[in-house]
Structure 1
């Protein structure tokens, strides 16, 4: 799933997620530095997330995207006191996209404090969603 389509998917998903007060693209909130991303407002405040894509081996940007589907990613629900990263990862996982094979949260890796996640797609592509 390329960044534009992922951004649209996440926007649609979050608009229907409990706890989301407002969901907009980074462009809509005036961020012209990052081409793809979202700004999510919850009761805890606003979090901004940049979306960066990595094509699957052999894929090129001048080729039309070919979605590959499989079993949706296994995910863990956010718990009280979890970070914005946990909430976002749970919301994306709950949507059960058949294109997303795995969701890897960054902050729970040993020795890491960065908030973000890597979405691994069945096509072999990846998306990096990093908190700004």
Structure 2
């Protein structure tokens, strides 16, 4: 899933997630520095997330995207008091998209304190969602 389509998916998914007050693209939130991303407001405040994509091997931007479907990523809901990263990963996982194969949180990796998510697609593409 390319960044623009993933951003649209993320906005649609997050707006239907309990606890969401508002979600909009970074551009709508006044951020012109990052081409793709979302600003998410919950009762805990706002968090902003940049989206960067990595194409599947052999894929080119001039080619039309070829979505690949499979079993949705297995995911456990975020727990009360979890970080915005955990909340966002759980929202993506609960959507049960057949294009998403796996969701990895960065902050739970040993020695990594960054907040972010890598979304692996069945096509071989990836989306890196980094907290700004």
Write out aligned runs for 1:72-87 (5 A). 72-87=72-87
Mapped pair 1:45 → 2:40:
no
2: distance between equivalents of 1:120 and 1:16? 22
2: distance between equivalents of 1:15 and 1:30? 19
Query: Which residue number corresponds to residue 97 of structure 1?
Result: 97
Mapped pair 1:70 → 2:70:
yes
Structure 2 residues not aligned, in runs of 5+: none
Q: Deviations over 1:18-77 (max 9, x none)?
A: 000000100001100000000000011000000000000000000000000000001110
The 3-state SS of whatever aligns with 1:46 is strand
Q: CA deviation at 1:93?
A: 0.2
Query: Which residue number corresponds to residue 127 of structure 1?
Result: 127
1: distance between equivalents of 2:75 and 2:116? 15
Q: Count the aligned residue pairs.
A: 132
Structure 1 residues not aligned, in runs of 5+: none
How high is the TM-score relative to the length of structure 2?
0.99
Query: Which residue number corresponds to residue 56 of structure 1?
Result: 56
2: distance between equivalents of 1:117 and 1:24? 18
> In angstroms, what is the RMSD of aligned CA positions?
0.4
